């Protein structure tokens, strides 16, 4: 091709035009980057993003949330806090974040009682919480606490050998009570002999495996509490109804004799035959978000008789390969078809609901919902078994549902996935030898080859 003056001019114009368009494209991209923000998380398990539970918690919030971080201007702590809070800002853009240097605002630090650098203060609709741990779980739990409207009192009946919500013995519920308090719930022990009535401000009454029978007057108070619309969680171990047969009759529930035996547990290495696994759940607000099985040691089965005005749903059921064992749990045991033993699947828990007229005397015509859960086992929430599979999630879901906090059910911020890399000695030796000797030797060899080829030209 002949290169004429016209051709050179055209090529020069093309280069100018290309440069101009390239600069315009770069400028446009720069402007777009200031107007729009796109972030993607490609890490394993999306560790740099909020869990679905935290996102759902933020979606439940109406109005802005304020996060005040007391951290100095420089240092890795500020970056750590900014990165954590940034995850929440991406989901809820109206979060108001303020960084306060404690050195420049000592009066504000004293006024708010800030005790350490890095402390976060979460404020929402006039309520506030403090967070000193920089994890999604801690921050989401704090948001959950400030999001609850009003106080939720959970009363645990005492005085008859019940499981203690603050006790540390294996059979007590101390860990479960601590989890409830971390969620912003108020846990109190309740002795009806002292109070002579169930407090009106109680959100849920918990009767956890009484070892001795309640006095007739106490049973009457429980009945009156139910008749008035109170919410109840009743954990009943085999053979221990706590003298509340009339309460069971009022609910229309019957405890079947014997202990549920689950033959499938041996497949999971559980030697005790009276440990029941629940692997599938019926559709219910308490169990809809459970993705793992739950474990119930030494449980009894329930049977419904007359439901009255209650709407009853089976909450937990054992698998088919189960039965109610009436004999001793020693030696070789099996289902005896000719006896009173019942074959599975068996119901371990029932959920009761009904609507009651409230304020009818005042002519208001208002109705309230009442909720009751009866479970044939109290061990699954004990200190010994609370950490097994999804037992804790089930317990927290039960309390949230019973206290009518449906929107908070199953908000469990996930823990960060495993971020450590463990290598064996062989792998460490191969990597170390490769980077220290093999890779440098290959680079030197490549250089020599190139040098020799150039000399031969």
* Confidence check: pLDDT of 364 > 60: no
Is residue 457 a part of any domain in this protein?
Answer: no
The answer to whether residue 451 is domain-embedded is no
Together in a domain, 163 and 311: yes
Assess whether 231 and 323 both reside in one domain. yes
Q: Cβ distance 210 to 219 under 8 Å?
A: no
Looking at residue 376, its pLDDT comes to 92
Q: How many residues does the chain have?
A: 457
Q: What is the pLDDT of residues 225-264, one digit of tens each?
A: 999 889 999 999 988 778 888 899 999 999 999 899 888 7
Per-residue model confidence (pLDDT) at position 307:
66
Half-sphere exposure of 197 (CA within 13 A, CB side): 4
**What percentage of the chain carries pLDDT values higher than 90?**
30
For 411-434, what is the mean pLDDT? 74
Q: Give pLDDT, residue 390.
A: 86
Same domain, 191 and 136: no
Residue 104: inside a domain:
yes
- Among 103, 122, 147, identify where a domain stops: 147
Q: pLDDT at residue 265 above 80?
A: no
Residue 20 counted as domain residue: no
Q: Is residue 107 part of a domain?
A: yes
DSSP bridge partners of 184: none
pLDDT at residue 67, rounded to an integer: 92
Is the Cβ–Cβ distance between 221 and 178 less than 8 Å?
no
Clarify whether residues 136 and 160 are in a common domain: no
Q: What pLDDT, on a 0 to 100 scale, did the predictor assign at position 233?
A: 95
Q: How confident is the model at residue 419 (pLDDT cuts 50, 70, 90)?
A: low
Single out the residue in 147, 172, 205 at which a domain terminates.
147
Closest Cα partner for 255 from 242, 239, 277, 243?
239
User: In this predicted structure, what is the pLDDT of residue 361?
Assistant: 46
Tokens 């802005």, residue located: 64
The larger pLDDT score, comparing residue 23 to residue 357, is at: 23
For 369, the token pair is 């919902």
Task: Output the pLDDT for position 421.
Answer: 74
Residues 196 and 281 in one domain: yes
| 329 pLDDT more than 50 | yes
- Whether 416 is in a domain gets the answer no
User: Considering its fold, how many domains does the chain have in total?
Assistant: 2
What confidence tens digit (pLDDT) does each residue in 277-319 have? 898 888 888 887 777 889 999 899 999 887 678 899 999 999 8
Tell me the average pLDDT across 333-351.
84
User: Which pLDDT belongs to residue 410?
Assistant: 61
Asked if residue 368 has pLDDT above 90, the reply is: no
93, pLDDT greater than 80: yes
**179 and 222 both lie in a single domain:** yes
pLDDT at 363: 44
What pLDDT shows up at residue 220? 92
Confidence (pLDDT) at 362? 43
27-65 pLDDT, tens digit each: 999 999 888 877 777 776 677 788 887 888 888 888 889
Report yes or no on 10 lying in a domain: no
Q: Which of 124, 147, 170 is the last residue of a domain?
A: 147
Percent of the chain residues topping a pLDDT of 70: 93
pLDDT at 366 over 60: no
**Average pLDDT score over the chain:** 85
| Residue 287 domain-assigned (yes or no) | yes
Residues 125 and 166 in one domain: no
- Position 37 scores a pLDDT of 74
What is the mean predicted confidence (pLDDT) over 4-13? 85
Q: CA 74, CA 448: separation in Å to the nearest integer?
A: 48
Residues 125 and 169 in one domain: no
Same domain, 126 and 162: no
Backbone angles phi, psi at 213, to 5 degrees: -70, 140
Same domain, 291 and 364: yes
Q: For position 360, what pLDDT does the model report?
A: 46
| Residue partners of 293: CB distance under 8 A and separation at least 6 | 277, 278, 279, 389, 390
- Could you read off the pLDDT of 118-172 as tens digits, one per residue? 889 888 888 788 888 888 878 887 888 788 777 789 999 999 999 999 999 999 9
Structure tokens at 368: 């309230």
188 and 110 share a domain?
Answer: no
Q: Residue 92 is part of a domain; what is its CATH number?
A: 3.40.30.10
Model pLDDT for residues 386-418, shown as the tens digit of each residue: 988 889 889 988 998 998 877 666 666 555 555
Residues 281 and 394 in one domain: yes
Domain that holds residue 68: 52-147
Domain with 298 in it: what CATH number?
A: 3.40.50
Closest by alpha carbon to 170, among 385, 446, 443, 384? Answer: 384
């Amino acid at each position: 091709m002949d290169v004429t003056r016209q051709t050179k001019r055209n090529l020069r114009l093309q280069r100018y035009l290309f440069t101009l368009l390239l600069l315009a494209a770069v400028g446009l991209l720069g402007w777009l980057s200031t107007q729009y923000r796109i972030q993607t998380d490609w890490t394993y398990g999306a560790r740099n993003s909020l869990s679905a539970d935290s996102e759902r918690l933020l979606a439940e919030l109406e109005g802005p949330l304020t996060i005040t971080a007391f951290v100095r201007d420089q240092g890795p702590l500020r970056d750590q806090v900014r990165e954590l809070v940034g995850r929440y800002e991406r989901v809820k853009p109206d979060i108001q974040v303020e960084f306060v240097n404690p050195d420049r605002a000592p009066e504000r630090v004293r006024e708010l009682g800030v005790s350490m650098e890095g402390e976060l203060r979460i404020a929402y609709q006039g309520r506030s919480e403090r967070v000193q741990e920089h994890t999604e779980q801690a921050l989401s739990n704090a948001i959950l606490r400030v999001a609850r409207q009003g106080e939720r009192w959970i009363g645990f009946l005492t005085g008859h050998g019940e499981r203690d919500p603050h006790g540390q013995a294996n059979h007590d519920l101390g860990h479960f009570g601590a989890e409830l308090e971390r969620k912003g719930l108020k846990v109190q022990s309740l002795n009806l002999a002292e109070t002579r009535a169930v407090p009106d401000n109680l959100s849920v009454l918990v009767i956890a495996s009484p070892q001795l029978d309640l006095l007739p007057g106490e049973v009457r108070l429980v009945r009156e509490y139910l008749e008035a619309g109170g919410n109840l969680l009743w954990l009943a171990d085999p053979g221990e109804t706590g003298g509340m047969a009339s309460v069971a009759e009022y609910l229309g529930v019957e405890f079947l004799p014997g202990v549920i035996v689950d033959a499938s547990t041996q497949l999971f290495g559980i030697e005790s035959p009276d440990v029941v696994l629940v692997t599938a759940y019926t559709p219910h607000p308490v169990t809809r978000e459970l993705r793992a099985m739950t474990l119930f040691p030494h449980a009894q089965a329930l049977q419904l008789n007359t439901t009255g005005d209650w709407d009853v749903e089976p909450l937990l059921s054992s698998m088919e390969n189960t039965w109610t064992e009436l004999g001793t749990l020693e030696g070789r045991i099996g289902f005896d078809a000719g006896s009173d033993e019942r074959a599975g699947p068996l119901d371990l828990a029932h959920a009761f609901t009904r609507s009651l007229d409230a304020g009818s005397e005042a002519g208001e015509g208002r109705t309230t919902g009442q909720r009751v859960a009866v479970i044939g086992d109290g061990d699954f929430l004990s200190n010994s078994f609370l950490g097994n599979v999804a037992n804790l999630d089930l317990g927290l879901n039960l309390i949230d549902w019973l206290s009518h906090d449906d929107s908070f059910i199953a908000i469990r911020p996930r823990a960060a996935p495993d971020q450590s890399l463990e290598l064996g000695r062989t792998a460490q030796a191969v990597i170390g030898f490769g980077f220290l000797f093999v890779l440098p030797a290959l680079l030197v060899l490549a250089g020599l080859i190139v040098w020799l080829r150039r000399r031969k030209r």
